[in-house]
Amino acid sequence: MPPVRSLAVLLSLAALGACTTAPPSVGLRASEPAEAPVDQASTFGLYLAGQTALDQGHGDEAAGFFAQAARQDIDTSSIKIHAFVAALVAGDIPRAASLAPGPDDGSVSEQRLGRLTRAVEALAENEGREAETLLNTPPLSPPDDAATRLLLPWAAAVAGDWKTALAAPDAGDDHLVAQVSLLDQALLYEHRDQIGQASQVFGKLLAQSDGAGLYTTAYGEFLQRHGHTATAINLYEAALKGDANNGLVQEALAHAKAGRPAPPAPTFAEGAGRALLAPAALLLAEKQPQLGLVYLRLVLRLDPKRDEAWLLVGDTLTAGGQTEAARDAYAKPQPGSPSYVSARERLIGSYDQPSDAPIELKLAQETAKAAPDDPDAMSLLADALRLNDRYAESAQVLDKLIIQAGPKASWNLYYMRGVARDQAGDWDGAERDLKQALALSPDEPEVLNYLGYSWVDRGVDLSGAKAMIERAVAAKPDSGAIVDSLGWAYYRLGQYPQAVEQLERAAELEPADPDINDHLGDAYWRDGRRTEARFQWNQVLIMQPSDKLRAQVEAKLKSGLDSVLHPSVAER
């Protein structure tokens, strides 16, 4: 029997799976058009231009090239199918529907996808009868059959066919489809003002699963819409007794207690989009990124503000190396959306080069301004300030976060503030924070390493500091930075052969790190290996060191190690 799966869990799995999937391919099949004859060179050139645009993540441009090529040669059905797929991947569903293969075009799978695309477009255009016909005759087969069963009630509702719309869901042995179908049935009963029947269906659904909080919040919002806020609050509180950290339910409870109105019932198109999100997430979780991305585009044609879908689109495009297109997706959720800060975090994370630090700060400042009470938004700002060497300001933001969290402030907040204070020149404050972080999480390798290295570099309790770093190395033996700290502890203790051994290992783990290679050069020098020391320092100069480290290394190459002082941990 298939495992029971909830949509919320699938969304989580899909987000993780998207990080490891292969890039989306040009089409959904491997065949390529035959080599074009000489008199079709312009058509073939358009095809190649479309292929190149799609490979670069410009699906909209690709769809235009393919469509133009298909118009020039109506017999080139393969090019038309490429145009169809390119339009789907780009999210241009109206164009894709106009290019969708008919019963005599392409493969069976492409024909099915073409019919599903036309059905979604008809639903989006409020043409329920056409959508219902496309979904029904003949019924679609896997993997599109789940989408058919989930979309059909909404298409029937648009068409006014309420007998079909409200019929008991037929999900076979697919538990996910069965659960989503019950949710849809409840919402459709609500559309018909049959509130009692809707409540009964919600009860049946919650007796099976709470959907990781998704179904609980849907029922609670339904109750709020119909004047039963107190009952909704009781529902949320009962759910949190079983899953105290469920963010969906926590947010719904906070909104209900604050007296905020519940979201309105979804429109027919929005309901269909939410229903289609389930098979889209399942495809991504099952490592089918191409088809999963297409389904997400169909979801967004029905409900352009379905922000969970935008996040999954961005994650899938990111995994495929299409960074610019992913950024466009992450930019869609707007302030006030539950997905806004998560989307901005991903957007900021897409700028991962040192030269991108000013862009990251600008985006983080915008996010914090739009969501000033969101701890994650403020954490993004603190981190971006640190990356831009604005350490005192970063520490001030973390001050507010720690005060806001009170006794629940995590070790990570104290650690981040300790680092910011240290780099701002406030070692006393930094040491207090690092000790507090260690008290809250005694085995955290990052804290053990930072505090241990700081003491080593300042000549404080060298043996105790070395023991702390050894614990960090045991926890993360493949971290070049932590192994470097252990080597530096041996160096400061005057145990140069052991320092060389550890620093050589650190350089193997992080061969392009200028600080680690500088430390290794110092250890070679103290161990009497002057030629190797100079070689190592020369290596540092080609690794883009900071201006300060470059000046120190140049001085050591000119006059030897004793001509400079070692940089402090704050400059590592």
Per-residue model confidence as pLDDT tens digits over 400-419: 999 999 999 999 999 999 99
CA torsion 257-259-260-262 (nearest 10°) is 80
User: Tell me, what DSSP letter sits at residue 212?
Assistant: G
pLDDT of residue 329: 96
Long-range contacts of 220-227 (CB under 8 A, 24+ apart): 220/252, 220/256, 220/262, 221/252, 221/262, 221/263, 222/186, 222/187, 222/190, 222/198, 222/262, 222/265, 224/256, 224/261, 224/262, 225/190, 225/262, 225/264, 225/265, 226/195
Q: Which two tokens stand for residue 70?
A: 């298909």
Nearest Cα residue to 320 out of 38, 122, 24, 5: 24
The model's pLDDT over 501-517, given as tens digits with 9 standing for 90+, comes to 999 999 999 999 999 99
Looking at 49-53, 222-226, 376-380, 546-550, which range is the least confident one?
Answer: 49-53
**Do 502 and 411 belong to one domain?**
no
* pLDDT beyond 60 at 11: no
For the chain, what is the mean pLDDT?
A: 87
The pLDDT score that the predictor gives to residue 491 is: 96
What is the 8-class DSSP label of residue 467?
A: H
Q: Is the pLDDT of residue 132 over 90?
A: yes
Q: Is the residue at 222 inside a domain? A: no
The H-or-E segment that residue 466 falls in is: helix 462-475
Residue-level pLDDT at 14: 52
Give yes or no for residue 5 having a pLDDT over 70.
Answer: no
Verify that 164 and 88 share a domain, yes or no.
yes
pLDDT of residue 4: 44
Percent of the chain at pLDDT above 90?
68
Kindly state the tokens that stand for 176: 């996910």
- Residue-level pLDDT at 34: 36
Which CATH number belongs to the domain containing residue 431 in this structure?
A: 1.25.40.10
* Domain presence at residue 250: no
d(CA 135, CA 137): 6
Residues 453 and 411 in one domain: no
179 and 102 assigned to the same domain: yes
Could you give the dihedral angle defined by the CA atoms of residues 220, 223, 228 and 230, in that order, rounded to the nearest 10 degrees?
Answer: -10
Cβ atoms of 152 and 132 within 8 Å: the answer is yes
**Residues 380 and 516 both lie in one domain:** no
What pLDDT score does 571 carry?
Answer: 40
Domain assignment of residue 369, yes or no: yes
| Mean predicted confidence (pLDDT) in 327-343 | 94
The residue behind tokens 């609050």 is: 233
pTM of the full structure = 0.82
Q: Say if residue 135 is in the same domain as residue 58.
A: yes
- DSSP H or E segment with residue 405: helix 391-405
Query: Does 24 reside within a domain?
Result: no
Task: Answer yes or no: do 562 and 418 share one domain.
Answer: no
Pair (178, 97) in one structural domain: yes
Say what the pLDDT of residue 61 is.
73
Nearest alpha-carbon partner for 340 in 358, 303, 366: 366
Q: pLDDT band for position 425 (50/70/90)?
A: very high
User: Which region among 65-74, 124-133, 300-309 has the lowest average model confidence (pLDDT)?
Assistant: 65-74
pLDDT of residue 473: 97
Is the same domain home to 142 and 273?
yes
490: three-class secondary structure by DSSP: helix
Query: Over the Cα atoms of the chain, what is R_g?
Result: 29
Say if 381 falls within a structural domain.
yes
Question: Where do we find the tokens 């019919």?
Answer: 115
pLDDT tens string 59-97: 667 667 766 766 665 456 677 787 888 888 889 899 899
Q: Quick check: is 231 in a domain?
A: no
Which pLDDT does position 71 carry in this prediction?
67
Does residue 214 fall inside a structural domain? no
pLDDT of residue 294: 94
Q: Which of 293, 310, 326 is the last residue of a domain?
A: 326
pLDDT (0 to 100) of residue 206:
94
Same-domain status, 195 and 46: yes
Considering 293, 326, 359, which residue would you say is the last residue of a domain? Answer: 326
Is the alpha carbon torsion for 255, 231, 208, 300 positive or negative?
Answer: negative
Based on the number of CB atoms within 10 Å of its own CB, is 501 exposed (0-12), middle (13-18) or buried (19 or more)? middle
CATH code at position 316: 1.25.40
pLDDT band at 108 (very low <50, low <70, confident <90, very high): confident
Could you report the per-residue pLDDT of 13-62, keeping only the tens digit for each? 455 445 444 433 433 433 333 333 333 446 656 666 766 776 666 666 76
What is the domain count for the chain?
3
Would you list the DSSP string of 83-110? HHHHHHHHT-HHHHHHH---TTSS-HHH
- Specify the higher pLDDT residue, 563 or 482: 482
Q: pLDDT, tens digit, for every residue of 519-551?
A: 999 999 999 999 999 999 999 999 989 999 999
Same domain, 420 and 567: no
Question: And the tokens for 431?
Answer: 């040491």
pLDDT bracket for residue 221 (50, 70, 90) = very high
Burial per residue of 110-133, b for 16 or more beta-carbon CB atoms within 10 angstroms, e otherwise = bbbbbbbbbbbbbbbeebbebbbe
As given in the structure block, the two tokens for residue 327 are 């950024």
Q: Return the higher-pLDDT residue of 177 and 224.
A: 224
Q: For the segment 439-456, what is each residue's pLDDT rounded down to a tens digit?
A: 999 999 999 999 999 999
* 362 touches 387 (CB < 8 A): no
| pLDDT for the residue 2 | 38
Position 235 in a domain: no
CA distances from 92 to 160, 273, 278, 351 (A): 28, 16, 21, 27
Question: Using one digit for the tens of pLDDT, what is the confidence trace for 460-516?
Answer: 999 999 999 999 999 999 999 999 999 999 999 999 999 999 999 999 999 999 999
Q: Does 501 share its domain with 365?
A: no
**pLDDT score for 37:** 38
Contact 177, 146 (CB under 8 A): yes
Burial of 193 (0-12, 13-18, 19+ CB in 10 A): exposed
Domain span at 396: 351-442
Average pLDDT on 330-358 reads: 94
| Mean per-residue pLDDT, 275-294 | 91
Residue 548, both tokens? 């300060």
Between 108 and 273, the more confident residue is 273
By the 8 A CB rule, do 313 and 329 touch? yes
Task: Please state the rounded mean pLDDT for residues 256-265.
Answer: 92
